[in-house]
Structure 1
Amino acid sequence: MELACTSSGLSVTQTEYVVDLLKCANMHEAKPVPSPAVGGRRLSLSGDLLFDLTEYRSIIGAFKCLALTRPDISFAVNQHPSSQSYSDADYVGDLDDRHSTGGYCVYLGTNLIYWISKKQLGVSRSSTESEYRQLALHCRHFVLVTGFVS
């Protein structure tokens, strides 16, 4: 983000980030449009296969970061292959401090894009509470990572 302080106040822009992202995606010469999505069209599996999935994941991740601060493009950015996620937690995995350990992973299509495993902050009184704690943390981070709200 770029901050500019003027006599009328402070303005925040992401122009340089967007230009760099468009250059990375070879779209810097594309014509601007009022909306990044074409109305009434849905994505499908037809088309050319991508040869460099790393570049695709990188660009999608960069657009997702941009969409967090730009709700006007959030819908268009999040029209991609389905996301799935899984979470799990143990109960009292650490016998010294009685904390459980939990983790989760997020898939974009069949590709793992994010995962985490760490000790929970609080002590759970049951395995069910430990699982619910992990699921709550997982859902919050899933929304942040993927941009999905529903």
Structure 2
Amino acid sequence: MKDLGLVSYFLGLEISQDSSSYFLTQAKYTSDLLARVGLTDCKTATTPVDPQTRLTPLEGSLLSDATKYHQLVGSLVYLTVTRPDIAHAVHIVSQFIAAPYSPHYDALIRILGYLKGTLFHGLHYSAQSFLQLHAFSDTDWAGDPTDRRSTTGFCFFLDTSLIAWRSKKQTLVARSSTEAEYHALAHTTQELVWLRWLLSDLGVSPSSAINLYCDNQSAIHIAHNDVFHDRTKHIEIDCHFIGQHVTRGTALLLFLTFDKQTVDLFTKAHLPRRFSDLLTKLKLLCALPP
């Protein structure tokens, strides 16, 4: 083994650092991607997804050759390593990879247009952060116009540093917003338990329950009160799983209002102003070009 010094570039990741912070970006990777598909001079977009557009499987014309679509989606999936702002958009276009149509390709081009306008955006990590974990969980109930499945979104912060996130469609159709929220809470709690184990292995043992924020009062009441289970037998496993960790003191469920829900970025499309506010909460910043 050889000590190569401070890391500055690794597999497309650019890392800059000083005594107070670290900054991760994939600006060169993004620039190379735009050049490879001939979109260096493309029109920029303010958001990666148009809030007025709902993609469906059989709309428009089928692409005669889906190779380029597959390559772009794969490249964008890797780009989400430092660009959580496109996670939901990439989640959407990935659903049509088996048979992409023209509107799906147009959605890909919009993501690339957004990336061109935010080329030097990346994740900022403070070296002075407290090693205190907290999480946000949310869902977009029945948001898919085709199968009416909900989208789960969660994100984890170590103090002010974003360290984990997900945007994923739920496997089953939820019959109420509470059920959809509870499924999202179950997945978030599962990730929470794993991150606690990981931090413990690294010598950072949380001294108290990890704050888990949710904007659904009903879901929080169910986790704290067993009498609700009789009316929610179809989500009984999730109920017992979350309730168990709340009782053990692994997680502390806390309510917050919709306007303060940081993870909303991973569940649905937003207008530019709301989208910009959410980026600020995620500490997704723009670095000056080299």
If asked which structure has higher relative contact order (CA below 8 Å, sep 6+), I would say: 2
TM-score normalised by L of structure 1:
0.48
TM-score normalised by L of structure 2:
0.27
